[in-house]
Amino acid sequence: MLTIDTWRGKKAPETQRAFMGWGGLTVTDDTVDVLDMLRAYYAVASGESCGQCFPCRSGLKRIAARLDQMCQGQERADDLQYLRELAAMVRASARCDIGQTSPQPLLDVLEQAPQLLKARKTSGGAYTSMVTAPCVNACPGHVTIPEYIEDIRFRRFDKGLERVMENCPMPGTIGRVCERPCEAACKRGLKGKPVAIRNLKRFLFDHNAALNQPPVPQKPAAHGKKVAIIGGGPAGLSCAYYLAHLGVAPTIFERHDVCGGMAKFGIPDFRLPPSVLTREINVVAAAGSDIRTGIEIGRDISVDQLHDEGFEAIFIAAGAPHAPGMRCEGEDSCPQGYLSGIHYLHEATMGRQAVSGTRLVVVGGGNVAMDCARTALRHGFKEVRVVYRRTEAEMPADPVEIEEAREEGTLFTFLAAPLRIENIDGRVTGLVCQKMELGPADDSGRRRPVPVEGADFELPCDAIVYAIGQKVALEVILKGKDGALNKYRTLDAHDITGEVSALPRFFGGGDCVTGPSSLIAALAAGKRAAAHIAAHLNGEDDGPTVREKLEQALMSINMLDTEDAVPLEDPTPPMPIHAIPLRERLHGFTEVETEPLEWEAVRESSRCLRCLRVVMTAP
């Protein structure tokens, strides 16, 4: 049996028969015609060359042409030498990753199994190809980042926004609050700062909004089948948007008076202005979605009644809107001044201040904790302190969030865990903390905090806000529907299709399936589910597609190789983040970061190395 494995770096994605890409190739089945697969691979690669450097565009086309001739049985004496020299030249001379990485599979076959390149007539196989990049691969939504950045570079701003919305229907929101896994995977960041991918996405949205270009309504056909969506947060809005574009009639049922979910009620206005979210919800509605607010499924209407009303499928996107307690002594006896970060931020977005006093302690180290601290400063607290059980280096919050919180006056106490809540007559007076130290790493890869015996201390305060996690509560929605929840009490749905195996015609996505995750992951889940719901309604759904399986396999590896050759540090100044003056921030909830400037966005786009790679599998 033929086996070829030349893969370099991280482990190649597991496929059924063969895989080739930037790190070489893996073939485990001798029914795969390697010559024909190479022909197909370079046909794709040559088509993806941007044409901005001659060696890549011309060289890949010539490789593709010669392989095509060989697959037609047209043999030349110099075939192998020609391909070897041409592939080596392209790899050495190309300016971007398409040209630098695409020659690798061919060079590997030429070196290890040249007999497979004997010219002959091939029958042509079925292959699945994909063009990706480290940043695209790291993004749960697989937004085509290099392409929209290139659109900005050439001032094709409308086209750039269209590209983003092919995979992300809320660019204004994601352009402000995304956790930026793409930037962590940016090759430019190996030497200098990564490309400001998130801020460039925001620029495209803000530029379009400034022109006040309303979304073009795309109503589904009158005969479109009806789908009910439970929850109007990011996953629900995304599912509705893409269902409408697939000719299905979605209806969102939202228990609050407005849609948005955690994007609305869990992110302060100074990070995500209501006008941005409203505009994006209007885009979803204009695409053909019916939005019904103030209706709680399970209380006002049951899921069975939804089916009775003619909804042929149900997508559950109820999020994770509840918070577990700190499980420390005293939390049950002090109802005044002790609440979750989710509740605190919800009240703040509604214009209400849930707690009062002069000193407030926030327990937690994520973005929610930073948002609570910054909100408390705007509510007039004189001292706001974040308590976190690890060090700052282990904090999961966005470094920009931490920096801005510190600039605004937030204090930090690290290596401390809540031990006991002090109160007088049910009113918080202080938080007793246990001093911690870092021990061995836990499952998250971070060093586990362990108590320092006998080392506790008290932080006097008037209020405690805990932001240490979120939980799902689907029992009301799914009352009487046994088997739909897993041992973690989240919805037991397929991780790609969203289908709930225990409940026919039910799908799910977002935090209610995964547990607390990111907004971009919720948007991605909504889009994937929309495709499978539409296929299911048409009797065409056969589970995850080959492409979806390939995307999932690629996400299991880190495509950014820190040993890659990186150009010298770019002298182009990184794109700055503009903000309103510090003295103005604490007087209200005006957005802190201001609109990116056009010339800065265009200049920043030139820093992109266009790290595209072609991958192909023989399923």
Instruction: Give the number of other Cβ atoms within 10 Å of residue 389's Cβ.
Output: 24
Residue 212 pLDDT:
80
Q: What is the pLDDT of residues 10-46, one digit of tens each?
A: 766 666 789 999 989 999 888 899 999 999 999 999 9
Measured CA to CA in angstroms, residue 249 lies from 85, 225, 227, 434 at distances of: 56, 6, 6, 54
The residues that bridge with 388 in the sheet, in sequence order, are: 414
* Cα first-last separation, the chain: 17
Nearest-angstrom CA–CA distance, 270 and 536? 41
Q: Between these two residues, 419 and 554, which has the higher pLDDT value?
A: 419
Mean pLDDT of 35-58: 87
Q: What is the pLDDT of residues 262-318, one digit of tens each?
A: 999 999 999 999 999 999 999 999 999 999 999 999 999 999 999 999 999 999 999
Q: What is the pLDDT of residues 566-607, one digit of tens each?
A: 666 778 889 999 999 998 999 999 999 999 999 999 999 999
Q: What is the pLDDT of residues 417-449, one digit of tens each?
A: 999 999 999 999 999 999 999 998 888 777 899
Which CATH superfamily is 226-321+471-541 part of? FAD/NAD(P)-binding domain (3.50.50.60)
Q: Classify 425 in phi/psi space as left (phi over 0), alpha (psi -120 to 50) or beta.
A: left
* Closest CA relative to residue 227, chosen from 301, 290, 140: 290
pLDDT above 70: residue 563: no
- Reduced to 3 states (helix: H, G, I; strand: E, B; else coil), residue 396 is coil
Q: Classify 42 in phi/psi space as left (phi over 0), alpha (psi -120 to 50) or beta.
A: alpha
pLDDT above 60: residue 222: no
Residue 81 pLDDT:
95
* 381-385, Cβ contacts within 8 angstroms, sequence gap of 24 or more: 381/357, 381/463, 382/358, 383/358, 383/359, 383/411, 384/359, 384/360, 384/409, 384/410, 384/411, 385/359, 385/360, 385/361, 385/410, 385/411, 385/412, 385/413, 385/459, 385/461
Q: What is the pLDDT of residues 91-150, one digit of tens each?
A: 998 888 888 999 999 999 999 999 999 888 887 888 999 999 999 999 999 999 999 999
Q: What is the DSSP string of 70-134?
A: HHBT---TTHHHHHHHHHHHHHHH-SSHHHHHTTHHHHHHHHH-GGGG---B------EEEEE-H
What would the CATH number be for the domain defined by 4-126? 1.20.1440.230
Nearest-angstrom CA–CA distance, 329 and 362? 17
Q: Can you give the residue ranges of every domain in the chain? A: 4-126, 226-321+471-541, 338-466
Beta strand ranges found along 350-469 (DSSP E): 359-363, 383-388, 411-414, 416-424, 427-441, 447-460, 463-466
pLDDT above 60: residue 1: no
Q: What is the pLDDT of residues 342-352, one digit of tens each?
A: 999 999 999 99
Nearest-angstrom CA–CA distance, 454 and 525? 47
Only one residue has tokens 């005293």, namely 330
Q: The domain at 338-466 falls in which architecture? A: 3-Layer(bba) Sandwich (3.50)
Nearest-angstrom CA–CA distance, 413 and 421? 17
Share of the chain above pLDDT 90, in %: 77
Q: What is the pLDDT of residues 569-578, one digit of tens each?
A: 778 889 999 9
Q: Do domains 4-126 and 226-321+471-541 have the same CATH topology?
A: no
Give the pTM.
0.94
DSSP letter (8 states) at residue 350: T
Instruction: With cut-offs at 50, 70 and 90, classify the pLDDT of residue 401.
Output: very high
* Closest CA relative to residue 2, chosen from 24, 23, 31, 25: 31
The secondary element (H helix, E strand) that includes residue 251 is strand 249-254
Phi, psi of 565 (to 5 degrees): -70, 130
Angle at CA of residue 261, ends 428 and 295, nearest 5°: 105
Mean pLDDT of 201-212: 94
